Amino acid sequence: MGAPVRLLIFPFRVLLFVAVIRPFLAIVLGLQARGRELLPVAGPAIVVANHNSHLDTAVLMSLFPVSLLGRIRPVAAADYFLSNPVLSWFSRHIVGIIPVQRRRAEGSAEDPLAPISESLRQGNIVLFFPEGTRGEPEVMVDFKKGIAKLAERHPEVPIVPVFLHGLGKSLPRGEAIFVPFLSHAVIGESVRFGVAAEGGQEAFLQRLREEITRLAESLKVAAWL
């Protein structure tokens, strides 16, 4: 997509978030956010969160000032979001996703994390769901190793944990009917791979999960874990 087209699309993206998405999240979901000051103000950076709903991406994007929308790049499954031309265009150009292949062809040497690394090198703020897919409402499952591999490749990049609550009840996986439900986003202190480097990727994954669990406990909803 050329620069003139990007210049035309960006105002539409800003308008969508300011006039539609943010009012919807604030009024219908009553979204409350804690720790906004801990969010990155520039890239490269990675924001990670638990994943229960398609609303998760919209919530994370809405936490940032509109001036940063052009730098926010959510990681999304190519097999789903590029499945038809209309969804593909909207996902790429309005949402700004980084499409990744969840399943590689047998014998393929393609690196599914390469587009994410390239986006980080471009100074973007990447949104990443380490569970890999949406789970059952308000249930967090084991993190896949993708986020640990990224952290190891980019040890200088801060990784900001976020706990999302309530969105899995508003629009859970497999449901098309939206149900209003009070929602929260709690942002934590950033972590880097170097802190857990001695234990490798497994130690980093454990620490990241512990950080998000701690954020969940701060909302007194740890019973779902």
Q: What is the model's pLDDT at position 114?
A: 94
Looking at residue 224, its pLDDT comes to 44
Tens digit of pLDDT for each residue in 98-112?
999 877 655 666 788
Its sign, for the CA torsion 138, 211, 61, 66, is: positive
Among positive and negative, which fits the CA dihedral 113, 137, 53, 48? negative
User: Which residues, given as ranges, of the chain have pLDDT below 70?
Assistant: 1-8, 104-109, 134-138, 169-180, 195-198, 220-225
Short-list 197, 165, 158, 156, CA closest to 49 = 165
Q: What is the pLDDT of residue 27?
A: 85
124, burial (CB in 10 Å: exposed 0-12, middle 13-18, buried 19+): buried
pLDDT at 93: 85
The predicted structure's pLDDT at residue 111:
86
Partners of 187 in the β-ladder: 162
Is the Cα torsion angle 136, 139, 145, 146 positive or negative in sign?
positive
Confidence at residue 172, expressed as pLDDT on a 0 to 100 scale: 54
Q: Could you state, in order of their start, the residue ranges of all structural domains in the chain? A: 3-224
pLDDT at residue 197 in the model? 55
Which pair of tokens denotes residue 211? Answer: 């950080």
Q: Which residues make Cβ contacts (< 8 Å) with residue 30, sequence separation at least 6?
A: 180, 182, 183
Q: Determine contact, residues 208/143, Cβ cutoff 8 Å.
A: yes
Tell me what pLDDT residue 180 has. Answer: 63
Class of domain 3-224: alpha beta
Can you state the percent helix, strand and coil of the chain, rounding each to 5? 50, 15, 35
pTM: predicted TM-score of the whole model, two decimal places:
0.86
Q: What is the pLDDT of residue 198?
A: 66
Alpha-carbon span 212 to 192, nearest angstrom: 14
